[in-house]
Amino acid sequence: MDSTIELSVIVLCYRAEESIIPFVDKLNKLISKLTSSYELVLVGNYTPGSDDRTKDIVLDLSQKNERYKAVIKPKQGMMGWDMLEGMKAAQGDYLCVIDGDGQFPIDSIENAFTLIKENQFDLVKTYRILRHDSLYRKMVSRIFNLLFALFFPGIKSKDVNSKPKIFTRRLYNKLDIKSTGWFIDAEIMIQMKRHRFIFEEFPVIFDEITDRASFVKFNANFEFIINLFKYRWQEFFIKK
């Protein structure tokens, strides 16, 4: 394995259990064609006392392949905390984040990686043009994006929470993310704009999950709205 790492792919594996095995295998095959210098950071953080076996599966995968790095800690937050822990462990010049449930097409990582390497973008991400998802999640996502555009009109993102997203080490080093919940994607976009970094988006199709319910609970709606007011207010006092 190379001593320097070009691309770190951070996989959010929460409660994926055995389904993460074929996902990571497919992901590894794809990334190995893009660069010979990479790592897969498998975030298997867990809720103490739960019957979730993901942490054991992630650890086993990391022991079988030196390119896999396991991050396994008792959870101290939601998705945002998992993402932060994965980014802290990543060593690549480029950091890519993707959910491990298979809803986002992993082939889009190739497009994102090509765009960010061949252009002057600091962040490249997707936006969902078609969602094979519940009506509730479609409506919530639509409302979130409309509210975000209203509060932060200077950030021309079609889908703030969409993944995969890939960003440069330079951008990551500027980030000072506080969100440990579902607002983390929005906070990344806010700070990116604050530091005058450049991003690009391209469309993907979002697949359906049939074997489990969404982890995004109803109270996440209130979290998002409260944070919109909080971060909009903070921007008035940030020195640009």
Distance CA 61, CA 55 (A): 10
- Pairing of the two strands 94-99 and 165-168: antiparallel
Structural domains of the chain in order of their starting residue, each with its CATH number: 7-235 (3.90.550.10)
Report the helix count and the strand count for the chain, using DSSP H and E: 8, 7
In which band, very low, low, confident or very high, does the pLDDT at 213 lie, cut at 50, 70 and 90? Answer: low
pLDDT band at 215 (very low <50, low <70, confident <90, very high): low
* Contact partners, residue 55, CB within 8 Å, separation at least 6: 44, 45, 46, 72
pLDDT for the residue 124: 98
**What confidence score (pLDDT) does residue 83 get?**
97
Using alpha carbons, list the distances in angstroms from residue 98 to 34, 43, 59, 177, 194: 16, 11, 19, 18, 24
Mean pLDDT calculated for residue range 177-195? 94
- Report the DSSP pairing between strands 38-43 and 68-71: parallel
Q: Which residues contact 91 (CB under 8 A, 6 or more apart)?
A: 5, 8, 39
Measured in whole angstroms, the distance separating CA 167 from the mean position of its chain's CA atoms is 11
List b or e across 33-54, with b for residues whose CB sees 16 or more CB atoms inside 10 angstroms.
Answer: ebbeebbbbbbbbbeeeeebeb
Interval 98-129: pLDDT, tens: 999 989 999 999 999 999 999 999 999 999 99
Q: What is the pLDDT of residue 25?
A: 97
- DSSP assignment, residue 237? T
Amino acid 138: pLDDT: 86
Report which residue type is found at 97: V
DSSP 122: S
Distance CA 52, CA 73 (A): 13
- Return the amino acid letter for 38: Y
Looking at 32-41, 47-56, 62-71, 134-143, which range is the least confident one? 134-143
Give the tens place of pLDDT for each residue, 86-102. Answer: 999 999 999 999 999 98
CB 183 within 8 A of CB 223: yes
Summarised one tens digit per residue, pLDDT across range 136-183 is: 788 888 999 999 999 999 999 999 999 999 999 999 999 999 999 989
Question: CB 215: neighbour CB atoms within 10 A?
Answer: 14
Work out the pLDDT band at 211, boundaries 50, 70, 90.
low
The percent of residues above 70 in pLDDT, for the chain, comes to: 92
For residue 27, pLDDT beyond 90 = yes
